[in-house]
């Protein structure tokens, strides 16, 4: 069995129609599965230290991204998946967007309750998304552990998407999966 990191990047999708139906919603486009689309999925193999992205740079639609990801994940259900806030964001967004397109992604990923899904944020740090207590971003954790901030911020993804700068999204996602892998490798003995 092997270990791998995944991270997704999402951008706004169908927000105007959504707001017509749900006028009082405070949900933000790009950060919610119903009004976001997946524009990039990063995969980092821990053992080989190899990173790759499936994105709008190499696929023309969200459906194509999800199909390619399903193929990449085939036979990996028994492997260990590592995420940062994946239980609250990445996996639910992947599941909803895959369901929307009729893609059976659930067969490829470990369940959120499985010991084969290690969420550094939720499982190791006890973080709860949108909480002031014990919460931190990946950028803040990098600064705390390594004394340096990330080169880019996920808040920029929507802007890059609107400008068609898919390479910037890819670079950001690659940076995130490599940083998540580094944190995992550096801290895993502390949390076993």
CATH of the domain at 41: 3.30.420.10
In whole angstroms, give the CA distance from residue 167 to residue 23.
34
Range of the domain at 99: 3-191
Given this model, what pLDDT does residue 54 score?
98
Total domains, the chain: 1
Taking the whole predicted model, whether its pTM rises above 0.75 is answered as yes
Given this model, what pLDDT does residue 128 score?
65
Tens place of pLDDT for every residue, the chain, 192 residues? Answer: 799 999 999 998 887 887 788 888 877 766 677 888 999 999 999 999 999 999 999 999 999 999 999 999 998 888 999 999 999 899 999 999 999 999 988 788 887 788 899 999 998 888 765 555 567 889 999 999 999 999 998 889 999 999 999 999 999 999 999 999 999 999 999 887
Given this model, what pLDDT does residue 77 score?
81
DSSP letters, 129-166, are: TT-SSS---HHHHHHHHHS---SS-GGGHHHHHHHT-H
Please, is 152 exposed, middle or buried when counting C-beta atoms within 10 Å of its C-beta (0-12, 13-18, 19+)?
Answer: middle
Q: How many Å from the N-terminal Cα to the C-terminal Cα in the chain?
A: 17
Query: What are the phi and psi torsion angles at 50 (to 5°)?
Result: -105, 135
What Rg do the C-alpha atoms of the chain give, in angstroms? 16
């Amino acid at each position: 069995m092997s270990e791998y990191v995944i991270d997704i990047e999402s951008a706004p999708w169908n927000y105007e129609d959504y707001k017509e139906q749900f006028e009082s919603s405070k949900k933000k486009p790009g950060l919610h599965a119903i009004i976001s689309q997946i524009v990039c999925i990063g995969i980092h193999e821990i053992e080989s230290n190899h990173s790759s992205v499936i994105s709008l740079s190499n696929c023309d639609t969200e459906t194509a991204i999800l199909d390619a990801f399903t193929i990449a994940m085939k036979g990996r259900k028994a492997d260990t998946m590592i995420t940062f806030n994946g239980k609250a964001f990445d996996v639910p967004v992947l599941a909803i967007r895959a369901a929307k397109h009729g893609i059976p992604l659930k067969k490829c990923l470990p369940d959120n309750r499985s010991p084969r899904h290690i969420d550094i944020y939720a499982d190791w740090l006890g973080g709860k998304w949108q909480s002031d207590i014990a919460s931190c971003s990946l950028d803040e954790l990098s600064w705390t552990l390594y004394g340096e901030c990330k080169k880019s911020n996920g808040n920029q993804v929507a802007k890059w998407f609107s400008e068609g700068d898919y390479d910037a999204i890819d670079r950001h996602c690659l940076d995130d999966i490599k940083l998540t892998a580094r944190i995992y490798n550096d801290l895993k003995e502390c949390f076993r």
